[in-house]
Amino acid sequence: MIPAAKPIIGDEEREAVDRVMRSGMLAQGPEVAAFEDEFSRIVDGRYSVAVNSGTSALHMALIAAGVGAGDEVIVPSFSFAATANAVHLAGATAIFADIDIDSFCLDPRAAEAAITPRTRAIMPVHLYGHPAAMVQFAKLAKKHGLKLIEDAAQAHAAALDGVSVGAWGDAACFSFYPTKNMTSGEGGMVTTPSEETARVIRLLRNQGMEKRYANEIVGFNTRMTDLHAAIGRVQLTKLAGWTAKRQSNAAFLTEHITGVITPSVADGAVHVYHQYTIRVDGRDRDAFAAELTERGVGNGVYYPTPIHRLPSFELELDLPQTEKAAAEVISLPVHPSLSQGDLETIVSAVNDVAKAGA
């Protein structure tokens, strides 16, 4: 079975963990500070603050942006639940808007239509590694006086019009979960152009204090450990090479796959293919996925149920493009560990299943 995803952990990561273990400094310390500094270099020099997960990154960024009770934050429903969960954890309400079916990202026109007097922020998701339409979102946020927060959990090293993902909004949030394009084992990062916002997030992650026992605000314990940061530092040095391999794998799949809708890339966008997601328009998606599995090609459906229809939200909304994507998407293996033989097997399986269902 060709796995749908495959975290890559090598000797360098093991050696980094051993180095931290030998140092005796296991909690947040010099490794975290170094990881933050090094990560800043891939987001156009913005401040970077490490936390213990991508969800914590979203939660802290929203609070630091002043989002709270009575506020609304516009988000896509076609995403992982953490996107909306973070809004509600901050005390606000997630307002779901439709997506652009080609990019799978929040549609700026739908987002603008969802703005009310209670809207405080817009949080587009760079889904599957494709950047959202940040030029339009930046204009929209400025026009309506809203905060712009990027959910970049799946988009390390993606870019649009020469500007890195993570360098567009008032804040951006990354995840280092094991299946992401790079990992720290677990963890997250908030990036921001604002020194004050960065300071607030540092306070929030550490019980509201920068100096021990000098608690300035009510905070959390969402610190990243030096063990995780050490892994992340090594992975960051490999990200460019892994990204190039993902893009090469994706190019091969797009060139040779037929009978389904392959991923599109917007003008000026650098897609980093956290997922290579096809659409099986007019077919039984679950049967198609099952056939691929039978042929030895691992795959995943991200996301079969839009967030607004999950039991945790249960809202009746008219989001036709979201519903269409949720019914049609299948993500194929695209990770850097694929061999040429794996790629050819994936192409053959998809084409055969598509042809059989024609």
In a shared domain, residues 99 and 144: yes
Mean pLDDT value across residues 11-18:
97
Q: Does the residue 306 lie in any domain?
A: yes
pLDDT of residue 255: 98
Q: Does the residue 1 lie in any domain?
A: no
In a shared domain, residues 186 and 256: no
In a shared domain, residues 44 and 70: yes
In a shared domain, residues 77 and 213: yes
Of the three residues 196, 215, 234, the one that is the final residue of a domain is 234
Does the pLDDT of residue 263 top 90, yes or no?
yes
d(CA 76, CA 98): 6
What residues have CB less than 8 Å from 190, skipping those under 6 apart?
A: 48, 49, 51, 57, 60, 61, 64, 171, 172, 173, 174, 198, 201
Distance of CA 183 to the CA centre of its chain: 12
In a shared domain, residues 210 and 305: no
Of the three residues 210, 234, 258, the one that is the final residue of a domain is 234
Each residue's pLDDT tens digit, 241-258: 999 999 999 999 999 999
Mean pLDDT value across residues 143-163:
98
323: its two tokens: 């519903």
- Label residue 151 left, alpha or beta by phi (over 0 means left) and psi (-120 to 50 means alpha): beta
Q: Does the residue 292 lie in any domain?
A: yes
CB of 108 closer than 8 Å to CB of 76 = no
In a shared domain, residues 349 and 278: yes
Torsion of CA 160, 164, 169, 175, to 10 degrees: 110
Does the pLDDT of residue 358 top 80, yes or no?
no
Instruction: Give the number of domains in the chain.
Output: 2
Each residue's pLDDT tens digit, 33-79: 999 999 999 999 999 999 999 999 999 999 999 999 999 999 999 99
pLDDT of residue 357: 79
In a shared domain, residues 197 and 323: no
Where residue 184 falls among pLDDT bands split at 50, 70, 90?
Answer: very high
d(CA 195, CA 45): 12
In a shared domain, residues 321 and 334: yes
Beta bridge partners, 269, equal 160
* CATH number, domain with residue 338: 3.90.1150.10
What is residue 121's DSSP assignment?
E
Q: Does the residue 147 lie in any domain?
A: yes
Q: Does the residue 4 lie in any domain?
A: no
pLDDT of residue 312: 97
In a shared domain, residues 37 and 181: yes
Domain that holds residue 92: 11-234
pLDDT of residue 236: 98
Of the three residues 206, 234, 262, the one that is the final residue of a domain is 234
Does the pLDDT of residue 130 top 90, yes or no?
yes
Q: Does the residue 196 lie in any domain?
A: yes
pLDDT of residue 25: 86
How much is the pTM?
0.97
Where residue 111 falls among pLDDT bands split at 50, 70, 90?
Answer: very high
pLDDT of residue 11: 97
In a shared domain, residues 163 and 213: yes
Does the pLDDT of residue 96 top 70, yes or no?
yes
In a shared domain, residues 218 and 245: no
pLDDT of residue 282: 87
* Average pLDDT value for the chain: 97
Mean pLDDT value across residues 145-165:
98
d(CA 170, CA 159): 16
Each residue's pLDDT tens digit, 299-321: 999 999 999 999 999 999 999 99
In a shared domain, residues 286 and 317: yes
pLDDT of residue 355: 95
Q: Does the residue 169 lie in any domain?
A: yes
Q: Does the residue 5 lie in any domain?
A: no
* CATH number, domain with residue 46: 3.40.640.10
